[in-house]
Homo-oligomer: A and B are copies of this chain.
Amino acid sequence: MVYVKDFKWTRGMTVEELVTGLDSVGFQSVELAKASETIIKMKESGAKIFFTFTSNMVTSGLRGFFAQVIRLKMADVVVTTVGGIEEDIMKSFGEKFPIGEFTADDVELHEKGTNRIGNLYVTNKSYERFEDIIHDMLKKVYDKKKRWTVSELLMEIGSMLNDENSILYQASKNNVPIFCPAITDGAFGFHLYMFQQKYPDFILDVVKDFANILFSTSQDEMKGMISLGGGVSKHHAILACLINGGLDYAVYMTTSRESSGSMGSATTREAKSWGKIKDNSDVATVIGDVTITFPLAMIKALEELSKKGLVKND
């Protein structure tokens, strides 16, 4: 039996010490520490790690951390939504995203050409510049061949970037495929459509990309998942792992609660009924904002894995 321990601050406390202390505090802090342990086991076991997140997280400064996580080989397969792809590219070209207020006057923001995502902003100008950038990239891609799967396309785009903090750049450099099952659901979709108008033989094959994620792993391989938020990113990775026999390790971090049967709120426990997660697997579900919970859990894991020589020091 493990017991609650009184938590105490000591001067100069590291994140590693904090998360170790949280382990015996209670409520979500216990789940957080367990998430960290699960990530460590995942890596130590040599499992293939599926890493999923949603667009709004790429709007935030987690973007650089995600790129670092990929560079440090803590993710083998990435699944995300198209808004994040767009914003990662924008940032690689120097676009700046202002920090604002949840309670800003939205009509006023609109008049200024500023779009709000929670307490972060994206300007219309950033979208306008993206238009030119993406058109040039698609042209280069098209000149190579006419039919692409989404993951191939994103790997190619990543290779055209030059930003250490870019998710696509690091994924491309480290040969980590990025899957995006709803590639047209964003400005990118509009630009793809405009491009296809001009070059009608340009084909984006989404069905074949299903095979790609399916064969990105196998029944025999150990499989782990770190899933931030819900939606198609989370579901798509789970699906690929389910068909391959289910996950051995799973960490879900989300703000959603299980009361409606939505994907965002689906717990690691529910996943067991599907065989998405094996009955005896290591799992943790952490309720909370990932801009806080993910750095804590991942940094603790990186510190320990770094000591064991399983990730590079940064």
Contact = CB atoms under 8 A, between A and B. Distances in A.
A78 interface: no
B295 A261 contact: no
B62 A25 contact: yes
A185 B237 CA distance: 9
A185 B311 CA distance: 32
A184 interface: yes
Contacts of A6: 61, 63-65, 67, 91, 165
Interface stretch (A10-18, A40-48, A128-136, A219-227): A10-18
Contacts of A62: 7, 25-26
Contacts of A102: 258-259
A96 B232 CA distance: 25
A291 B26 contact: yes
B3 A97 contact: yes
Contacts of A32: 292
B193 A210 contact: yes
18 contacts: A2-B99, A3-B97, A4-B120, A6-B64, A7-B61, A25-B291, A26-B60, A27-B60, A28-B291, A104-B273, A116-B273, A118-B258, A118-B261, A189-B207, A189-B210, A193-B210, A257-B259, A259-B289
Given A26-B99, A102-B258, A110-B272, 16 more contacts: A4-B120, A6-B67, A8-B165, A15-B18, A27-B260, A28-B289, A29-B60, A29-B292, A81-B232, A110-B279, A118-B270, A182-B232, A184-B210, A193-B210, A202-B207, A292-B296
Nearest to A192: B207
In this complex, which of A279, A289, A314 has the most chain B Cβ atoms within 10 angstroms of its Cβ? Answer: A289
A131 to B, nearest CB: 13
A298 B8 CA distance: 11
Contacts of A174: none
A289 B10 CA distance: 22
B119 A1 contact: no
In this complex, which of A190, A270, A291 has the most chain B Cβ atoms within 10 angstroms of its Cβ? Answer: A291
A18 B294 CA distance: 12
A178 interface: no
Nearest to A13: B15
A160 interface: no
Given A29-B292, A210-B193, A295-B22, A231 B263 contact: yes
Contacts of A275: 110
A61 B4 contact: yes
A26 B181 contact: no
Complex A-B, nearest 4 residue pairs according to Cβ-Cβ distance, in ascending order: A6-B64, A118-B261, A26-B60, A28-B289
Contacts of A260: 27-28, 56, 118, 229, 255, 289-291
Contacts of A114: 273
A24 interface: yes
